[in-house]
C-alpha cells in the first residue's frame, strides 16, 4: 500500500497549534474531567468499584503539626488516635457546618478537646467533650449556634486532642493529638446534576469521585447508621476507607458522641 505524504503547510501548523491551546484545561476543568472519567462507568458491572474510590484533588494541605494519627501517654498499647481523612490531611466539603470524624481508641483519657483556627492560626473556637463510654468512630458537627458558616475557598485548621491529664494541669505533653485542614468548596454543575439524579447509595461515590472527601464520608455514615445490617453499604465503607489508607479503622464501630463539658 502506498502512503501519500501531504505537505505540512503554515495554515495546517496554525490550526494544530490553535487546537492544542484550546484543549489545555484549567485546574477546575481537570478536576471536572477527572470526576467525569471516574463516574462514567456507573452503569457498568464494575461501577461500584470505580465510584467508591476516593479521587483526591491535585493539591496539598498547608503544614500540619501532628498529622492524621498519633499515640499519647494514656492510650492502650499499640493504639492511636486517628482522624478519618485523606493522607494529605486536607478534606473538602460543600457544607457550611461540616461533620468531622475520628477513631477514639481505648484509653484512660479524661476528656476530648476540639479547636478550630483560621489559616493564620488565629483561634476561632474551642470545645471540650466527655469521653464516650466505648471506643470507636465518633463524629462532631460544627454548631450553627456558636460559629459562623465556613467561607467558600478559605482553609481552616482544626486540632483534636485526647486529654490524658486534667485540663488544668500544666504538663500536657502526654496528650494524644491529631490535626488537619478543611475547606468549603462549591460543587461543579456536573456534580450537582448527578447528585439530583442519584439514589442515596450512589451519592457517597459521586462525592468521592469529585474529591469532596468530607461529604462522601458523611453521606455514607448516615446511610450506615440508618441501615446497619446492609452488607452493600458495609462493602462501600470498606472500599472508601481503604482508598485513603484507613484500613485500621474499617471494622471499628460508630459510637455516639459528643456532649460538651464546657
Contact 176, 162 (CB under 8 A): yes
Distance CA 260, CA 143 (A): 12
How much is the average pLDDT of 63-67?
A: 59
| pLDDT score, position 16 | 41
pLDDT top residue among 128 and 53: 128
| pLDDT score, position 215 | 98
Distance CA 262, CA 187 (A): 35
User: Exposure string (b/e) for 183-211, b if CB count within 10 Å is 16 or more?
Assistant: bbbebbeebeebbeebeebbbbbbbbbbb
Q: Would the pLDDT of 261 be above 70?
A: no
Map grid coordinates 492560626 to a residue: 121
Q: What is the pTM of this model?
A: 0.78
Distance CA 214, CA 49 (A): 19
Contact 212, 94 (CB under 8 A): yes
How much is the average pLDDT of 72-86?
A: 90
Percent of the residues in the chain that have a pLDDT greater than 70, as a whole number: 71
How much is the average pLDDT of 172-193?
A: 92
Least confident range from 1-5, 83-87, 135-139: namely 1-5
Q: Mean pLDDT across the chain, nearest whole number?
A: 81
Closest CA to 179 of 210, 163, 208, 157: 157
| pLDDT score, position 231 | 95
Strands 176-184 and 81-83: unpaired
pLDDT top residue among 38 and 143: 143
Strands 69-70 and 81-83: antiparallel
Eight-class DSSP state of 39: H
Cell (9 digits) for 183: 475547606
Percent of the residues in the chain that have a pLDDT greater than 90, as a whole number: 62
Q: What would the pLDDT profile of 5-56 be if each residue is shown by its tens digit?
A: 434 443 443 334 343 444 334 444 444 555 554 444 443 333 434 356 888 8
Amino acid at each position: 500500500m502506498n502512503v501519500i505524504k501531504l505537505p505540512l503547510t503554515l495554515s495546517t501548523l496554525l490550526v494544530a497549534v490553535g487546537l492544542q491551546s484550546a484543549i489545555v484545561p484549567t485546574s477546575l476543568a481537570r478536576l471536572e474531567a477527572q470526576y467525569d472519567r471516574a463516574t462514567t462507568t456507573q452503569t457498568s458491572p464494575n461501577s461500584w468499584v470505580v465510584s467508591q474510590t476516593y479521587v483526591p484533588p491535585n493539591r496539598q494541605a498547608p503544614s500540619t503539626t501532628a498529622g492524621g494519627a498519633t499515640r499519647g501517654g494514656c492510650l492502650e498499647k499499640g493504639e492511636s488516635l486517628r482522624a478519618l481523612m485523606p493522607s494529605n490531611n486536607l478534606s473538602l466539603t460543600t457544607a457550611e457546618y461540616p461533620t468531622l470524624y475520628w477513631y477514639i481508641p481505648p484509653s484512660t483519657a479524661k476528656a476530648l478537646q476540639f479547636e478550630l483556627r483560621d489559616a493564620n492560626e488565629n483561634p476561632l473556637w474551642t470545645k471540650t467533650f466527655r469521653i464516650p463510654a466505648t471506643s470507636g468512630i465518633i463524629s462532631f458537627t460544627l454548631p450553627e449556634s456558636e460559629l459562623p458558616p465556613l467561607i467558600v475557598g478559605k482553609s481552616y485548621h482544626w486540632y483534636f486532642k485526647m486529654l490524658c491529664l486534667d485540663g488544668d494541669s500544666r504538663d500536657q505533653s502526654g496528650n494524644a493529638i491529631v490535626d488537619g485542614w478543611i475547606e468549603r468548596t462549591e460543587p461543579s454543575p456536573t456534580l450537582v446534576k448527578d447528585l439530583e439524579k442519584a439514589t442515596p447509595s450512589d451519592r457517597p461515590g459521586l462525592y468521592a469521585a469529585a474529591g469532596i472527601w468530607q461529604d462522601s464520608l458523611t453521606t455514607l455514615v448516615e446511610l450506615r447508621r440508618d441501615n446497619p445490617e446492609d452488607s452493600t453499604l458495609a462493602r462501600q465503607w470498606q472500599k472508601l476507607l481503604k482508598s485513603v489508607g484507613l484500613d485500621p479503622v474499617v471494622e471499628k464501630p460508630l459510637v455516639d458522641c459528643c456532649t460538651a463539658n464546657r
